[in-house]
Amino acid sequence: MQHLDALLLTVMLIALAAAAAAAYAVAGGYRRAMLRHMTAPAAAAAPAAAEAFRDTPGAHFNLALNRRHTRRLAVALIAISALIGLCSAAFQLLVVHTGGGFGWRKLGLLALTYSWPVVPALGLLWRWSVRRTVFGVAGYLAVLAPLIMLGSNAAQSLSLVSAWLASTTVIPLLALFGLTASGRIRAIAPLLFPPALVMTAASVLGLEALAAAIDSPPDTLVALVGFLGATPTLLLFAVVPWLIGVWPALAVVRAVAGAYRAKRFSELAYLFGMFWLVVLISMAIPSIHSDAGLGALAIVGVWVWVPLGFAAARRWLTPPPPAPTLLVLRVFRRDAAVEALFDSVTERWRATGNTVLIAGTDLVSRTLDPDDLFVFLSRRLGERFITRAADIAPRLAGFDLTPDHDGRHRINECYCNDATWQPTLQALLARADAVLMDLRDFAASNAGCRFELAALADAAHVGRIVILCNAATDRATAEADLGAAHARCQWLDVPASTRGLGRQVLAALAAPA
């Protein structure tokens, strides 16, 4: 097959676009399915027994410990990236570009160059915006460019070095931004990328088979073109292979979901590993034309440092027990504000603590995981919903409260309908050590929030209750619903600019009761 490098690049770029487009469709369908189940009429059932709250506080959130383990995870990402960069540089010098000889200075500079994905990796950990990630990568390359010029044996212009550095980053960055830039598809598109690769490869192989037959076309192909026309025939050869490709694609989705359910990786490790895989493939494709030939593809093998690195650091990354449990409550239908809060607070809390909440469409882009996606694609989302009070205890017993191999805890959520969310809230509150309640734009008409406030009033065991408010919050009504429990709550007035909000909230959650 000629032009293999162009074909591989085409498959990858089309798969990226297809995964992003499919993610938008899946996100919309997932939200509609959730709303349908949330508002479905419930069968008559016996009322749930009132949840008994414990008398003593549980685990306490240690801010210093949380920061320490977040730093440790950052160090692990840096170390794994450095190992991949070093091995990639050695491979390029010893296998691909052997004419210039091997030197330690050259190895070091090339290793630094190939380690640039550490910047987006840290951005994934700290939930950087697209703009901040771009500036971070640009800053890394700007520092690297003069070092390369100083360490080069040949005269190099700044523009030439900059162009080379940019060429090594453009495709992986397109992949990262295409799959994660939009909050709507951030949790879905990366999961759809592997099956999209399979389906795209099937289409390309079909078109290649058609191209190979054009020089001496069989009579059946001539008849087919005569009957359908040229364009429909092209579409047919592109689409029919899906009938075969759909089965391995579904197998990939099933395998990813099963591995995630078995805790073989976390969602951060998946994104980190997927990004590095795209980087290595992008690095290998142009090298096919070197003396190494197809052997240049072996550079993808250095990806093994991702699972090996996490496995080696597992004990170091795992925080000591007990892990405090944070219950997140909010005014629904404030998607952008709640997503930003989730990124700045909950993603950091997860380094040492569990998070529980009642699922809603506002956080689908932050909480949907591989198992959720597979359940939805299997048309079994309804099985996740608590439709009877008797389902609450088994559902909570199935919570995953142990840390992943990267030390972070998963998000556990309950899918409820109008008849079951209140007893479910009581059950979640009974297990909570701290509560974060977002009451921005709260009004007396928000009956759901008022029920939650009344429940908090009875939850004396909760060590910390942090409530966010703004100028539009009906604080008088909220305080009246809390009653005497108002004294146990810490209110944070959130300005229009939420910069630094995450640090303030975490500090408040860590403060003594």
Mean pLDDT of the chain: 88
Domain stops at, among 315, 336, 355: 315
- 100 has a pLDDT exceeding 80: no
Q: Are residues 291 and 356 in the same domain?
A: no
pLDDT at 56: 54
pLDDT at 387: 92
Count the domains in the chain: 2
pLDDT at 46: 47
Question: Which token pair is 329?
Answer: 């409550």
pLDDT at 153: 60
User: What pLDDT band is residue 1 in, cutting at 50, 70 and 90?
Assistant: very low
Span 438-457, mean pLDDT?
Answer: 94
User: What pLDDT band is residue 275 in, cutting at 50, 70 and 90?
Assistant: very high
Convert the pLDDT of each residue in 358-400 to its tens digit. Answer: 998 888 888 888 999 889 988 999 999 999 999 999 999 999 9
Q: Are residues 206 and 170 in the same domain?
A: yes
Query: Percentage of the chain surpassing pLDDT 90?
Result: 54
pLDDT at 196: 93
Q: Are residues 347 and 411 in the same domain?
A: yes
Look at residue 440 and tell me if it is in a domain.
yes
Q: What residues form DSSP beta bridges with 354?
A: 325
Distances (CA, A) of 428 to 176, 309, 506: 35, 35, 20
Convert the pLDDT of each residue in 191-245 to its tens digit. Answer: 999 999 999 999 998 988 888 888 788 888 888 888 888 888 888 988 888 888 8
Look at residue 35 and tell me if it is in a domain.
no
Q: Are residues 394 and 497 in the same domain?
A: yes
- 85 has a pLDDT exceeding 60: yes
Q: Are residues 112 and 143 in the same domain?
A: yes
**Degrees (nearest 5) of the Cα angle 487, 490, 496?**
140
Q: Are residues 324 and 418 in the same domain?
A: yes
Question: Which token pair is 220?
Answer: 């059946």
Domain stops at, among 288, 315, 342: 315
pLDDT at 2: 54
Q: Are residues 182 and 295 in the same domain?
A: yes
Domain stops at, among 315, 345, 379: 315
Look at residue 226 and tell me if it is in a domain.
yes
Q: What phi-psi label fits residue 74: left (phi over 0), alpha (psi between -120 and 50 degrees) or beta? A: alpha
Q: Are residues 386 and 501 in the same domain?
A: yes
* 493 backbone dihedrals φ, ψ, rounded to 5°: -80, 115
Q: Are residues 367 and 285 in the same domain?
A: no
Look at residue 129 and tell me if it is in a domain.
yes
**Degrees (nearest 5) of the Cα angle 418, 423, 426?**
130
Convert the pLDDT of each residue in 16-39 to its tens digit. Answer: 999 999 999 999 999 999 999 988
- 449 has a pLDDT exceeding 90: yes
Convert the pLDDT of each residue in 450-505 to its tens digit. Answer: 999 999 999 988 989 999 999 999 999 999 999 988 888 999 999 877 788 899 99
Look at residue 60 and tell me if it is in a domain.
no
Cβ atoms of 485 and 410 closer than 8 Å: no
Task: Quote the domain boundaries for residue 134.
Answer: 69-315
Look at residue 219 and tell me if it is in a domain.
yes
Its pTM stands at: 0.90
Q: Are residues 305 and 329 in the same domain?
A: no
Q: Are residues 310 and 326 in the same domain?
A: no
- 335 has a pLDDT exceeding 80: no
Look at residue 423 and tell me if it is in a domain.
yes
Q: Are residues 256 and 120 in the same domain?
A: yes
Look at residue 49 and tell me if it is in a domain.
no
CATH number where 450 lies: 3.40.50.450
pLDDT at 260: 94
Question: Which token pair is 162?
Answer: 């900059």
Q: What is the 3 state secondary structure string of 442-510?
A: CCCCCHHHHHHHHHHHHCCCCCEEEEEECCCCCHHHHHHHHHHHHHHEEEEECCCCCCCHHHHHHHHHH
User: What pLDDT band is residue 51 in, cutting at 50, 70 and 90?
Assistant: low
Span 82-109, mean pLDDT?
Answer: 87
* 352 backbone dihedrals φ, ψ, rounded to 5°: -140, 5
